[in-house]
Amino acid sequence: MKSLLTPEQDAALVAAIRQAETMTSGEIRVHLEDSCPTPEPLDRAAQVFGELNMHKTAARNGVLFYLAWQSRQFAVIGDSAINAAVPDEFWETTKEAVLEQFRHEKYVLGLERGITMVGEQLKRYFPYDAHTDQNELDDSISFGGPKPSSDA
């Protein structure tokens, strides 16, 4: 899956995350995998959100961009505090801005645009404080599929 991105594209996405996070205490992650193992990508995004421990941030203001490349499924999901703060239409508007670029096969640009939009909202509701903020989550892109069941 990692071959989906060139090193330059990977670096551009990480730079977009870091730039957005300079304005906020919020945390942003991007997860890419080949195919979505659930019927709804939002369900899978919620699973990945948990696997990446995004629900453990102090302010509960993490946001995950989830893309299943081969099955062409996408979702963006936020933790409880950001969900409570942003306007109702924010997630749909963000998703549509990303998908508009995806329709033109500009996947990195779409994700960068979404990251910027989320960063602006996070800045509004969870501004950066140099004295208290710490980077709670890895900024790197995560890759892969569902973890194997331990029942096997």
Amino acid occupying residue 22: T
Looking up tokens 């995998």, which residue turns up? 33
Taking the C-alpha atoms of residue 24 and residue 149, their distance in angstroms, rounded to an integer, is: 36
pLDDT, tens digit, for every residue of 72-128?
A: 999 999 999 999 999 989 999 999 999 999 999 999 999 999 999 999 999 999 998
- The tokens 């936020």 sit on which residue? 78
| The token pair that represents 56 in the structure block | 């453990």
Q: Kindly write down the DSSP assignment for every residue of 51-119, as one continuous string.
A: HTTGGGSTTS-EEEEEEETTTTEEEEEE-HHHHHHS-TTHHHHHHHHHHHHHTTT-HHHHHHHHHHHHH
Of the candidates 150, 149, 146, 151, the one whose C-alpha atom is nearest the C-alpha of residue 38 is 146
Considering the domain 7-127, what is its CATH architecture?
Roll (3.10)
pLDDT value, residue 129: 81
Task: State pLDDT tens for residues 32-70.
Answer: 999 999 999 999 999 999 999 999 998 999 999 999 988
Cα distance between residue 7 and residue 87, in whole Å: 35
62 φ, ψ to 5°? Answer: -85, 150
Please state the rounded mean pLDDT for residues 13-30.
95
pTM over 0.85: yes
Distance between CA atoms of residues 3 and 124, nearest Å: 35
